[in-house]
Amino acid sequence: MNLKEIKELIELMTEKDISELELERAGVRLRISRVRRAAVEAGVPASVLPAAAPAVAANPAAVAPAPAPAAPPAEPREDLHIVKSPIVGTFYEAPAPGAPQFVKVGDPVQPGKVLCIIEAMKLMNEIESDVAGEILKRFVENAQPVEYGEALFAIRPLKK
């Protein structure tokens, strides 16, 4: 395993939002853990979270235990999933004015379920849920402008 492969793994984890990955190959054991961004936004103080950059540890000796990820949060926290706007635009709660809302607080959602539309210059961006869970909170009013990266919904993920 070389540096390039490890870099690719980190990119994959970022892309797929994988928080922790462990693998063993040809006598090398590797564990990468990432900070869950949702946890930061759920109001957990940053100081109790592990470092922001992925912590990488490669051990040439098969027997050596991989270092544990940084200390877990001191207090129990609810692992909320925050859906954020990928673009600057206008928030719509329904496919058309007067039509039923895509989702309401309390609704169960599955991955791929459309939560809202963000419109920028007539580009209609359907925001889908990427987790299964329950809508806990909606942060934006209908027809309001939203910024890039602004929180739209908080979802409580289903326990696996």
Partner 1 sequence: MDRELDRLVDLLADHATVVVSGAKAAAEIGVPHSTLHEWIERLRELGVHIDGLPGRGLVLKTVPDILTAGVIRRAARGTQFAAQVHHYYRIGSTMTAAADLAREGAPHGAIVVAEQQTAGRGRLGRSWHSPRAAGIYMSLLLRPLMPAARAPVLTLAAGLAVADAVSDITSRPTDLRWPNDVLLDGRKCCGILPQMTAEAERIRHVILGIGLNVNQESFPPELAGEAVSLAQATGRRLARADVLAAVLRQLDRRYREFAAGDTAALIADFERRSSYARARRVSVETEPRSFTGMSEGLDACGFLLVRRDDTGTVEPVLSGTIRSV
Of the residues 97, 106, 159, 160, which one makes contact with partner 1 according to CB under 8 A: 97
Residue 153 interacts with partner 1 (CB under 8 A): yes or no: no
Residue 92 interacts with partner 1 (CB under 8 A): yes or no: yes
Residue 11 · residue 48 · CB < 8 Å: no
Of the residues 41, 79, 119, 150, which one makes contact with partner 1 according to CB under 8 A: 119
Of the residues 99, 104, 108, 110, which one makes contact with partner 1 according to CB under 8 A: 99
Q: Kindly report the CA angle at 153 between 147 and 156, in degrees rounded to 5?
A: 150
Cα 132 off chain centre by = 12
Unique residue bearing structure tokens 């939002």: 17
* Phi, psi torsion values for 114, nearest 5 degrees: -75, 130
Measured CA to CA, the distance from residue 79 to residue 29 in angstroms comes to 28
Size of the site for partner 1 (CB under 8 A): 27
For partner 1, the binding residues (CB under 8 A) are 14-15, 84, 86-90, 92, 95-97, 99, 119-126, 128, 130, 143, 145, 148-149
